[in-house]
Amino acid sequence: MQNSVMKAWWDSSHMAGGNAAYVEELYEAYLDNPQNVPDTWKSIFDELPTIDGVSVETKHSSIREDFKKMAALGPAARAGNSSAVQADAPSDERQVKVLQLINAYRFRGHQHANLDPLGLWQQARVRDLELSHHNLSDSDFETMFNLGSYAVDAEKMKLGDLFKSLNRTYCGSIGSEYMHITDTEQKRWLQQRIESVEAKPLIDRDEKIKILKGLIAADGMEKYLGSKFTGAKRFSLEGGDSLIPMLKGLITEAGANGAKEVVMGMAHRGRLNVLVNVLGKNPSVLFDEFAGKHDDSLGAGDVKYHAGYSSDFATPGGNVHLALAFNPSHLEIVNPVVMGSVRARLQRRGCKDGSAVLPVTIHGDSAIAGQGVVQETFNMSQTRGFSVGGTVRIVINNQVGFTTSKTEDTRSTQYCTDIAKMVQAPIFHVNADDPEAVMFVTKLALDYRNKFKKDVVIDLVCYRRHGHNEADEPNATQPLMYQKIKKHPVPRQVYAEQLLAEGSIAQHEVDKLMSEYRAALDHGACVVEEWRPMTEHSVDWTPYLKHDWTVDYDASLSKETLVELGKSITTVPESHRLQSRVNKLYNDRKAMISGERLLDWGMAENLAYAAILNENTHIRITGQDSGRGTFFHRHAVLHGQDGGEEYMPLQHIKDKQGNIEIYDSVLSEEAVMAFEYGYATAEPATLTIWEAQFGDFANGAQVVFDQFLSSGEAKWGRLCGLTVLLPHGYEGQGPEHSSARLERFLQACADHNWQVCVPSTPAQVYNMLRRQAVRPMRKPLIVMSPKSLLRHPLAVSSLDELAQGVFHNVIDEVDDMEPKKIKRVVMCAGKVYYDLLEQRRKNEQDDVAIIRIEQLYPFPEQEMAAIVANYKHVKDWVWCQEEPQNQGAWYCSQHHFWQSVPAGAKLTYAGRNASASPAVGYVSVHNQQQKALIEDALTIK
Ligand code: AMP
């Protein structure tokens, strides 16, 4: 080939993309010794000062790195590489074209794969997969060609054989997408695994019978429910039956590879089937639930297709604990919950590489493409604070989202799984009617996850035999699809026929397996052979169960200990040079410890963490700027000004202390909050905190507050001690950064589901955090945390106040006032207290007392009654708040205020008028409003 031709070819798009790996291999050989490659290539490389804008030197070293990685992969991969180098391909244009053909199949073979069991997918014509596109034809079929890196057990092959092999490998029941991965080692590893067996491993008879049994169970279960509870909603798995042998195979392999726990999350579809046929839930319990019986101990309860479950499962590597997370109707939201739960379990087991606990998330095809939380979890998957060593993600792709089956209505991507490409996850589309192919990709996906610690996706292409639920009529909206489905044999039948045809099983054996399964259901006995009673889960929740708010706890600490702790958390190695403002702040903190100054918010909060760690309790804090503190108050993570390295004084309290991790989180609220919920529900012994930059950012996590945090215990009996810090306060920052929407949290209060606190002093925040960690109760704690109070001269506390270890749910008047002179009592919460106090002092008023309610829920009736007793004679009571009247505590907590005030007293409101917006945007208007509401609260008419 002439140089000019080569150059044109080099510049062509195919060359720039598809054959880059091959050219890189040649280039590597050239860099080692230019004589290694044919002259035509040499002259091209000679002319290349840079590749892709990267200098030869840099490219050289990166290629060398890739080369080393490949060398570590084993002989086959090496063979692929070296054979490419040895090939005299460029001197033979057809040889190059053959290598292009291989690459084309690797890139686009999935577009011609046989993925849809119903055969409804319209396959686009992919010219790259045609011989003619590469100037080849069947007249070349007998010619031997070098295979480059094509990872079969041969260096050369006839084109005819290669063409068949490529079609078997890339266009059978599996569509592999992995060429978007830039890391050569991963790509080569996948090629080796896929190509060396032409995507079809040998499966022995035992394995085949296991698969068939799984399909019989999947089908048998649905048929049983369908006939016994006709028309009842069960969100049948039918069509996606392969999921059952797939999950069992996945768990078995995971256990064999050393996993001790598998945590799964899934939405409704197929859930009952998974509960019974994988987790070993007793079918009779499920049948009772269908019949309307329920466990009263679970409070409000939930529908059966949201239920979680836990059990152990026998594998060749020992028993594996299985946990299926409870899940509300918000489909994809469970994914970050599962990841958080896995992270907690991994840390408890001291496992840093993810090998001990496997997360498995099961998605719907429309939901994975449609819901943003999926993207958030992919983005989190490799970050320091949220990684879990990779998640195996399975899509039950039944080609219908609720009732929408038209692709143009459900997504803008080619596949529903395209989002996974953002983290370069490999994606295996697989025809669910070929369960052996399903098992192949399952094992491949697991091995990939275990080796590369990354997410991997299996797109289980199936169908949905019934409507959205069993009462739904799918023909109304999907007539063509359902005509096809009606005639389509069930997966059990498809596979049984395959096994019968190949002689792996006889009909009477199939019949026997089916009747055995049916008999087991009739007996209501567990149908999972591998089921074992639960012994493997790694935490005991008993110490945290059944406590009342009055439960005794001791969070006091001697002042000496506090001083010691204070010294250790203000000591920074000399070599770690601090930024000047941070340095000043640390000097101020030292003065607080030596007694020269009172403690501010940041110091008290850090001391709380130190005291908790000192007692060997772990702490996890994530959030938006949480290392530094959004408002520059925390500085728990110190950034050295010379090297930029991080130093966390809280990690250096003493030799044996609790672990603390603080991560500035990815910029997400929904997934991060859900992750922390998952973490806290799996780890009662860690103080888990999520912090919003501004409280209103929590709006982005509304689903998590509503569906999990506020109601999880009532619905599912799952306790959660998550603490949520939401900066709140009206300081003129406008509609978006004033309100954490206190009213929303108060409105969701019932059944003692969570605590809503508004601490107003450093001692209070210290004692609130201490209480949350030390008290054996695990209830979510929602905190309206401050902004301007972080530096307010009056918001200071003494070490003695901290040492007492008591959080005051209500704080009485602090000035020395004669109760008899009091004509009005103003109740309030949070920052407005200081505005009231300052104005009253300025007014020199002695007839208005101010009470702070620091815990709005559960409402502290007794403490309140004890304080109100001092003002029994007062008839004029006011609730003062900064929030507009329709927001804040006024409407949601008013009944508590009424109950508290003395009989016959009046209760009035002082605050902003009702407003659609949380706050005004103009500072001048804000100031006027603030002045007016303070005046209103203090003026006795
Ligand atoms: P798991 O490890 O999630 O499968 O949980 C094992 C067992 O621990 C469950 O069956 C429950 O009895 C208990 N458990 C797990 N999480 C919680 C929780 N958040 N609150 C109360 N009990 C729990």
Per residue in 819-875, pLDDT (tens digit) is 999 999 999 999 999 999 999 999 999 999 999 999 999 999 999 999 999 999 999
> Among 341, 537, 540, 779, which is best to mutate for testing ligand 1, by the most ligand atoms less than 8 A from CB?
537
- Round to whole Å and give the CA distance between 587 and 581: 10
Q: Tell how far the Cα of 718 is from the centroid of ligand 1, in angstroms.
A: 7
**Amino acid identity at 865:** A
865-886 pLDDT tens trace: 999 999 999 999 999 999 999 9
What residue's CA is closest to ligand 1, atom 1? 323
Residue 297 has pLDDT above 70, yes or no: no
Q: Which position has the token pair 């008023």?
A: 845
Q: Tell how far the Cα of 309 is from the centroid of ligand 1, in angstroms.
A: 9
Q: Tell how far the Cα of 298 is from the centroid of ligand 1, in angstroms.
A: 13
442-477 pLDDT tens trace: 999 999 999 999 999 999 999 999 888 877 888 888
Residues 428/193, Cβ–Cβ less than 8 Å? no
84-123 pLDDT tens trace: 333 344 347 889 999 999 999 999 999 999 999 999 988 8
What residue's CA is closest to ligand 1, atom 18? 718
What does DSSP say about strands 781-785 and 456-461: parallel, antiparallel, or unpaired? unpaired
Residue 760 has pLDDT above 70, yes or no: yes
Sign of torsion over alpha carbons 844, 847, 850, 851: positive
Contact 541 CB / ligand 1 (< 6 Å): yes
Residue 66 has pLDDT above 50, yes or no: no
Q: What is the DSSP secondary-structure string of 803-836?
A: HT----SEE---S---GGG--EEEEE-TTHHHHH
Residue 21's pLDDT band, with cuts at 50, 70 and 90, is low
Q: Tell how far the Cα of 620 is from the centroid of ligand 1, in angstroms.
A: 20
pLDDT value, residue 832: 97
Residue 39's pLDDT band, with cuts at 50, 70 and 90, is confident
Residue 44's pLDDT band, with cuts at 50, 70 and 90, is low
Both tokens of residue 606?
Answer: 């850090």
Q: Tell how far the Cα of 367 is from the centroid of ligand 1, in angstroms.
A: 27
Residue 288's pLDDT band, with cuts at 50, 70 and 90, is confident
What does DSSP say about strands 261-266 and 357-364: parallel, antiparallel, or unpaired? parallel
Q: What is the mean pLDDT of residues 519-536?
A: 93
Task: Give the per-residue SS3 of 112-180.
Answer: HCCCCCCCCCCCCCCHHHCHHHHCCCHHHCCCEEECCCCCCCCCEEEHHHHHHHHHHHHCCCEEEECCC
Q: Tell how far the Cα of 721 is from the centroid of ligand 1, in angstroms.
A: 13
Helix (H, G, I), strand (E, B) or coil at 274: helix
Residue 939 has pLDDT above 60, yes or no: yes
Helix (H, G, I), strand (E, B) or coil at 656: coil
> Among 541, 715, 754, which is best to mutate for testing ligand 1, by the most ligand atoms less than 8 A from CB?
541
Residue 25's pLDDT band, with cuts at 50, 70 and 90, is low
Contact 537 CB / ligand 1 (< 6 Å): yes
Between residues 264 and 629, the one the model is more confident about = 264
165-220 pLDDT tens trace: 999 999 999 999 999 999 999 999 999 999 999 999 889 999 999 999 999 999 99
pLDDT value, residue 6: 40
Residue 265 has pLDDT above 80, yes or no: yes
* Index of the ligand 1 atom closest to the CA of residue 261: 2
Q: Tell how far the Cα of 533 is from the centroid of ligand 1, in angstroms.
A: 14
pLDDT value, residue 537: 79
- Round to whole Å and give the CA distance between 103 and 576: 52
- Round to whole Å and give the CA distance between 530 and 606: 48
Helix (H, G, I), strand (E, B) or coil at 552: coil
Contact 264 CB / ligand 1 (< 6 Å): no
Q: What DSSP element (H or E) covers 906?
A: strand 906-912
CB-hemisphere CA count at 13 Å for 791?
Answer: 9
Residue 237 has pLDDT above 50, yes or no: yes
Residue 46's pLDDT band, with cuts at 50, 70 and 90, is low
Residue 54's pLDDT band, with cuts at 50, 70 and 90, is very low
Strand order in the sheet with 755-757: 660-664, 618-623, 686-691, 723-727, 781-785, 755-757, 855-857
Contact 310 CB / ligand 1 (< 6 Å): yes
- Round to whole Å and give the CA distance between 640 and 643: 6
Residue 732's pLDDT band, with cuts at 50, 70 and 90, is very high
Q: The whole model's pTM is what?
A: 0.90
Helix (H, G, I), strand (E, B) or coil at 354: coil
622-649 pLDDT tens trace: 998 899 988 889 999 999 999 999 999 9
* Index of the ligand 1 atom closest to the CA of residue 712: 19
CB-based contacts of 863-871 (< 8 A; 24+ apart in sequence): 863/808, 863/809, 863/810, 864/809, 864/810, 864/900, 865/900, 867/810, 867/812, 868/825, 868/900, 868/901, 868/902, 870/812, 870/819, 871/819, 871/822, 871/825, 871/902
Residue 309 dihedral angles phi and psi, to the nearest 5°:
-165, 155
Q: Tell how far the Cα of 541 is from the centroid of ligand 1, in angstroms.
A: 7
Both tokens of residue 633?
Answer: 């108050």
Domains and CATH numbers, the chain: 3-119+127-184 (no CATH), 205-532 (3.40.50.970), 559-803 (3.40.50.12470), 813-938 (3.40.50.11610)
Residue partners of 168: CB distance under 8 A and separation at least 6: 198, 199, 200
Of 382, 373, 383, the residue nearest 335 (C-alpha) = 373
- Round to whole Å and give the CA distance between 452 and 189: 10
* Index of the ligand 1 atom closest to the CA of residue 684: 19
Of 199, 196, 187, the residue nearest 21 (C-alpha) = 187
**Amino acid identity at 882:** E
Q: What is the mean pLDDT of the chain?
A: 90
Q: What is the mean pLDDT of residues 133-152?
A: 95
First-to-last alpha carbon distance for the chain, in angstroms, is: 101
pLDDT value, residue 402: 77
Q: What DSSP element (H or E) covers 848?
A: strand 848-853
* Index of the ligand 1 atom closest to the CA of residue 540: 8
Q: What DSSP element (H or E) covers 744?
A: helix 742-747
* Index of the ligand 1 atom closest to the CA of residue 537: 2
Contact 681 CB / ligand 1 (< 6 Å): yes
CA dist 800 to 565, 710, 774, 790, 803, Å?
Answer: 14, 35, 19, 20, 5
339-381 pLDDT tens trace: 999 999 999 999 999 999 999 999 999 999 999 999 999 999 9
Residue 129's pLDDT band, with cuts at 50, 70 and 90, is very high
Contact 680 CB / ligand 1 (< 6 Å): no
What residue's CA is closest to ligand 1, atom 10? 310
377-396 pLDDT tens trace: 999 999 999 999 999 999 99
Residue 541's pLDDT band, with cuts at 50, 70 and 90, is very high
**Amino acid identity at 849:** A
What residue's CA is closest to ligand 1, atom 14? 541
Contact 719 CB / ligand 1 (< 6 Å): yes
What residue's CA is closest to ligand 1, atom 8? 541
Q: Tell how far the Cα of 823 is from the centroid of ligand 1, in angstroms.
A: 53
663-675 pLDDT tens trace: 999 999 999 999 9
Q: What is the DSSP secondary-structure string of 26-87?
A: HHHHHHH-GGGS-HHHHHHHHT-SEETTEEHHHHHHHHHHHHHHHHHH-HHHHHHHHHHHH-
Residue 763 has pLDDT above 90, yes or no: yes
pLDDT value, residue 14: 36
Q: Tell how far the Cα of 543 is from the centroid of ligand 1, in angstroms.
A: 12
What residue's CA is closest to ligand 1, atom 2? 537
pLDDT value, residue 36: 73
Residues 741/698, Cβ–Cβ less than 8 Å? yes
CA dist 97 to 165, 564, 598, 927, Å?
Answer: 16, 74, 78, 75
pLDDT value, residue 85: 37
Q: Tell how far the Cα of 752 is from the centroid of ligand 1, in angstroms.
A: 20
* Index of the ligand 1 atom closest to the CA of residue 680: 19
Q: Which position has the token pair 């080369």?
A: 67
Both tokens of residue 468?
Answer: 């959205």
Residues 141/159, Cβ–Cβ less than 8 Å? yes
DSSP 704: I
What residue's CA is closest to ligand 1, atom 12? 541
Contact 718 CB / ligand 1 (< 6 Å): yes
Q: Tell how far the Cα of 322 is from the centroid of ligand 1, in angstroms.
A: 11
What does DSSP say about strands 261-266 and 318-324: parallel, antiparallel, or unpaired? parallel
pLDDT value, residue 302: 83
